[in-house]
Amino acid sequence: MARTSTAARPSKQTIPTQDKISIALTVNNVERTLQVSPWTTLLDALRDHLELTGTKKGCDHGQCGACTVLVEGRRIISCLTLAVMKDGAKVTTIEGLAANGALHPLQQAFIDHDAFQCGYCTPGQICSAAGLLAEGKAKTVNEIRELMSGNICRCGAYPNIVAAIQQAMGQTGEKS
């Protein structure tokens, strides 16, 4: 068909994109060096450059929490973080939580309590929960709910997510 043709490339000068910058990240205890553009987010660096697709993109605007990872043990939104900002940092993703094939207590608790359905928000929920446990601020059910509210679960598994986190905290029963 006549309409099928590659769009004619203009002869004018090309518009350059951005020069690549070399950065080093320690991801899940493995040192990785990669060439990224300044505009590449940590999320896209993980997913597209390092093929660690366990970290999810749900909005790319810091609104849903699906991209939550741990940087130096703190939970952050990797879609609002440029990769170059974290040169030299220690990053833990969902792929790095299980040790020697044994699930992290949160991973096991999420399975036990059916704290997900489609599973897409789950890596972010679990990384966020790991950060929550490290912060040590949440003591009650209501505090867990509040401090996990940056992670949207459209399947609506919230009560099971809270129960899973309580199990991992070693708590039983409500303390609200």
Partner 1 sequence: MPSYIGTATSRVDGRAKVTGTAKYAGEFGASDLVYGAVVESTIPKGRIVRIDVSDALRVDGVIDVLTHENRPHMAEAPGAWKDEVAPDVGSPFRPLYDDIVMFNNQPIALVVADEWETARFAASLVRVDYERAAHATDLYAVRDTVRDLQKPFKSSKPRGNASAAYAAAAVRHEAEYYIPIEHHNPMELYASTAVWNGDGKLTVYDKTQGVQNVQRYLCSALGLSSDDVRVMSEFMGGGFGSGLRPQYQVVLATMGALKLQRSVRLVLTRQQMYELCFRPATIERLALGATTDGSLESLTHEAIAVTSHYEEFARDDTTWADGLYTCANTNYSHKVARVDLCTPSDMRAPGATTGVYALESAMDELAVALKLDPIALRLRCYSEREQGEDLPFTSKALRECYREGADAFGWDKRSPEPRSMRDGSELVGWGMATGVWEALQVPITARITLTANGHAEVACATSDIGTGTYTVMAQVTADALGLPIESITVKLGDSTLPQSPVEGGSWIATSIAAAIGTTADAVRAELLRRAQQMPKSQLAGMSPDNVTLTNGKIVSKQNPSHSALIADVMRHGKMDRIVQETTAKPNDIGKYARNTHSAIFAEVKIDEQLGIIRVTRVVSAIAAGRILNTKTGHSQIMGSVVWGIGMALHEETLIDHRFGRIMNANVAEYHMPVNADVHDIKVIFVDERDDIINPLGMKGLGEIGIVGVAAAIANAVYHATGKRVRDLPITLDKLQR
Please report, as residue ranges, which positions from 9 to 48 form the binding site for partner 1 (by CB under 8 A): 9-10, 12-17, 37, 39-40, 44, 47-48
Q: Which of 42, 43, 50, 55 binds partner 1 (CB under 8 A)?
A: 55
Q: Does 68 bind partner 1 (CB under 8 A)?
A: no
Closest among 43, 20, 25 to 88, alpha carbons compared = 25
Among 43, 71, 130, 144, binds partner 1 (CB under 8 A): 144
Minimum Å distance from CB 21 to partner 1? 13
Residue nearer to partner 1 on the CB measure, 24 or 63: 63
Choice from 27, 43, 130, 157 touching partner 1 (CB under 8 A): 157
The residues in 69-88 that bind partner 1, with binding defined as CB under 8 A, are none
The Cα 170–Cα 63 span in angstroms is 30
Helix (H, G, I), strand (E, B) or coil at 102: strand
Amino acid making up residue 43: L
Binding mask 109-128 for partner 1 (x = CB under 8 A): -xxx-x-xxxxxxxx--x--
Q: What strands lie across the sheet with 21-27, from one edge to the other?
A: 30-36, 21-27, 90-92, 68-71, 74-77
Gap between the Cα atoms of 45 and 84, Å rounded = 10
